């Protein structure tokens, strides 16, 4: 047992010739135990968990269940600055769903989508176009929601990971409602539903499909509030008229 505690022989560096010293140092380095593994460096990346792809929503999904699954959501950074989650509003049995980008200040305060100036314009567009075309339709007869449920800081465009995390709930909403058509308001909604990089000007005015549901792309009402967008306003009314006749004729 004494051998186990015997001190290693001391190398007399002063007395040993230089080659011996170099060899001893090299042996000590080679025989040294490897350093312990360090834990992974923390990053700011958010884990993309529980993503539900289009067409893979739970069987018999309902808006009530989806809202309950969202809960007091903290899945992405947008939850840090929000006041209220803005889930969606309207008729759950509707034939037409409007999808916007995300809540603004008014929506964040009230928890209802499209209640600010852009929302008031959307209401005028829905009800005004319907009245002119002889279609008995009010805002309450459609369903309105957004790609993300929490307001982005300073109303910035949602980041890709925020759209992916929150998009699972949008996909479930659309799958649960099963509308006859979807109207995507603006580039963010169009990209979330169709993928790709094309903007509204290339996509608007013609039919696309999300999960076999016809989808029309048009300008976001907030864009139409700018005074120099008169042509875009005319095009949006045409897009909406085409959508309403497809759904309700």
| Position 72 in a domain | yes
Locus of tokens 């029309």: 216
| Position 58 in a domain | no
Please state, in angstroms and rounded to a whole number, the distance separating the CA atoms of residues 95 and 80.
34
Would you give per-residue pLDDT tens digits along the chain (249 residues)? 444 444 444 444 444 455 444 454 445 444 544 544 433 423 333 333 344 445 456 778 999 999 999 999 999 999 999 999 999 999 999 999 999 999 999 999 999 999 999 999 999 999 999 999 999 999 999 999 999 999 999 999 999 999 999 999 999 999 999 999 999 999 999 999 999 989 999 999 999 999 999 999 999 999 999 988 899 999 999 999 999 999 999
pTM for the full predicted model:
0.78
* pLDDT for the residue 56: 55
| Position 9 in a domain | no
| Position 164 in a domain | yes
Counting the structural domains of the chain, the total is: 1
| Position 167 in a domain | yes
Please state, in angstroms and rounded to a whole number, the distance separating the CA atoms of residues 118 and 146.
13
Please state, in angstroms and rounded to a whole number, the distance separating the CA atoms of residues 145 and 172.
12
Pick from 239, 97, 65, 90: nearest CA to 178: 97
* pLDDT for the residue 59: 77
CB 83 within 8 A of CB 173: no
CB 167 within 8 A of CB 200: no
* pLDDT for the residue 229: 87
| Position 7 in a domain | no
* pLDDT for the residue 3: 46
CATH at residue 209 = 3.40.470.10
* pLDDT for the residue 96: 99
Give the DSSP per-residue string, 51-102.
---TT-SPTT--HHHHHHHHSS--SSGGGGT-SS----EE-TT-SEEEEES-
Pairing of the two strands 181-185 and 96-100:
parallel
Locus of tokens 């309950």: 68
| Position 91 in a domain | yes
| Position 50 in a domain | no
Please state, in angstroms and rounded to a whole number, the distance separating the CA atoms of residues 109 and 151.
10
CB 242 within 8 A of CB 234: no
State which residues form the domain around 224.
63-248
* pLDDT for the residue 228: 87
């Amino acid at each position: 047992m004494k051998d186990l505690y015997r001190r290693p022989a001391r190398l007399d560096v002063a007395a040993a010739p230089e080659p011996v010293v170099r060899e001893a140092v090299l042996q000590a380095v080679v025989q040294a135990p490897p350093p312990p593994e360090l834990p992974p460096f923390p990053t700011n990346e958010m884990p993309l968990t529980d993503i539900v792809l289009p067409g893979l929503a739970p069987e018999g999904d309902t808006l009530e269940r989806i809202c309950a699954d969202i809960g007091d959501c903290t899945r992405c950074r947008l939850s840090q600055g929000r006041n209220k989650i803005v889930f969606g509003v309207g008729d759950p049995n509707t034939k037409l769903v409007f999808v916007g980008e995300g809540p603004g200040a008014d929506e964040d305060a009230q928890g209802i989508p499209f209640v600010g100036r852009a929302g008031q314009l959307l209401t005028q567009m829905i009800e005004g176009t319907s009245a002119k075309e002889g279609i008995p339709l009010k805002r309450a007869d459609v369903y309105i929601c957004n790609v993300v449920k929490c307001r982005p800081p300073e109303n910035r465009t949602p980041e890709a990971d925020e759209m992916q995390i929150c998009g699972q709930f949008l996909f479930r909403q659309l799958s649960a409602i099963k509308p006859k058509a979807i109207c995507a308001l603006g580039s963010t909604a169009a990209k979330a539903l169709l993928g790709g990089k094309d903007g509204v000007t290339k996509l608007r005015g013609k039919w696309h499909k999300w999960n076999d549901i016809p989808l029309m792309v048009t300008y976001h009402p907030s864009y139409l509030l700018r005074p120099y967008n008169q042509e875009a306003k005319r095009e949006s009314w045409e897009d909406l008229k085409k959508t309403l006749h497809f759904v309700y004729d």
